[in-house]
Structure formats: structure tokens, C-alpha cells
Amino acid sequence: MSTLNFDRTMTILPFSDPAALALAIQAIYQGPILVQLPRVFALLAAPTCRGARQLDDTKVRLPGKHYGTAIGSLAKFVAQAQAECLPAAFNRCEQFRALTGSFIRLPFHSATVQSTTLLNGTHQGLLLDEEWRALFEGLESCFETNAAEPMWNHRNYCAPLCTSCNLSGHAEGSITEYEKAYQFGKARGLRLFLTAEAAAGEQGSYPVLGIESHQVCIHREGPGLWRLKEAIPMALRSW
């Protein structure tokens, strides 16, 4: 049974609702969608230059900001990386599962490559549990046959863009409260809001872990970081 809530122009329903994926696919072609992740509210958009521009408009994006993605297929994410730049401890899909609950930053291209999604050739994807990845993978399937995009250095990567639900550079940072997220979505004209139960414990933006050939770096702290640090082999710890 569907649990849709039509709030004037914004449809609100749980991400686990049977209708959620179909509505998300329909909505993401039109513009960003709002999602309540376990620890923070986020925006998803099409992994295209048009999708990035829509996020720019929604967030009033400041210069120098980059967009990550929400990983559906872990295999497709890892396949984008330069294999020779990955350490032996993190060069196969199953090795990354211990980092669930973080943004994983991998070297997609040489360090000279810069774009909306690439910082010094690297790109970061958010890895969540299987229930969320099923939703993200459903969205990925819509963009598998897209033409190569300049922001992917003239390749195609199909995971949905993923960024914090807030105005770029806002003093209060990422939104972790339902009412604030709801008001943001209404004010920015978003058409779909997928909700979920908040995880117990600390709320906030997910940690960012950079995987390099000889080390793993913490680019941003966040909820669950202590557990993630324990999953990194001693020889790769940069802290």
C-alpha cells in the first residue's frame, strides 16, 4: 500500500514505499529530489551537466564546490578508478564494504583534471547499506546509456549526484532536522521528498575518506568515523 502525501507541489513518501523508485526516476529528470538519509538530508540529481546546473541553482552554489554521487553499483564506482593508484587493501569491491557510511574518494583521472565532479582527478561517492543502494542503483539504470559528459572528463558515470540539502556555504551547515529540510524543499521548489527513519546517534554529513596508493586520508570527519578508522589497515592510516 502506498503512503504518498501530496503537499501542494511536493510529493512526500518513504523511500521504501513501492512507488518511490518510479517517482524518483520521473522526478530526477526534471530536477533535484530531496532525500532523508540515515544521518543527514541530501539532494540527488541527474549525473549530467544539466543535473549539476540544477543543483547549482537549488543550492546557490559557491565557486570551488564539487559534487559527489550516491553509489548504487559498487562495481561501477570502483571500475571508474585508476587501478594502479589503489592500494592492495582497497582494489576490489568487497574490500570497500567496510567503509559503508562514508563518502569514498577515489582517483578517477590524473591529478590535472578538474570539473564540477572531479577535484584533482578524484571523485567521491557515498556508500550506504543495501536498501539505499537498491534505490540509487535504480536511478543509475536511467543514465547508463547517456552520452559522455565533460564533467566526467568525457566519460559516462551514471550514479546520481549527491550533495547536502542546504544553501551553499550556509553558516548552519548540513540540515539534520525534518522541518528545516521540508522548508528548504518548499522554498526551492523541489517536487519530491523521500523520507526515512533517522539513525540513532550522531547526525551530520558523512565522513570523507580519500583512498590513495599508499595511504587513506580523512578529508572530513563525521558520524561513525571511529568505526571507519578501525577498518583501515594500520599501514595505510595517515593519522
Strand partners, 103: 126, 208
d(CA 189, CA 172): 21
- Tens of pLDDT, residue by residue over 84-104, are 999 999 999 999 999 999 999
pTM for this prediction: 0.95
DSSP secondary structure letters along 131-197 = HHHHHHHHHHGGGTTPPPBGGGTSB---SPEEEESS-TT-TT-S--SHHHHHHHHHHTT--EEEE-P
Q: In the predicted model, is pLDDT for residue 1 greater than 80?
A: no
Q: What is the pLDDT of residues 9-62, one digit of tens each?
A: 899 999 999 999 999 999 999 999 999 999 999 999 999 999 999 999 999 999
Task: Name the pLDDT band for 81 (thresholds 50, 70, 90).
Answer: very high
Q: Go through the domains of the chain in sequence order and give each one's CATH number.
A: 5-236 (3.90.870.10)
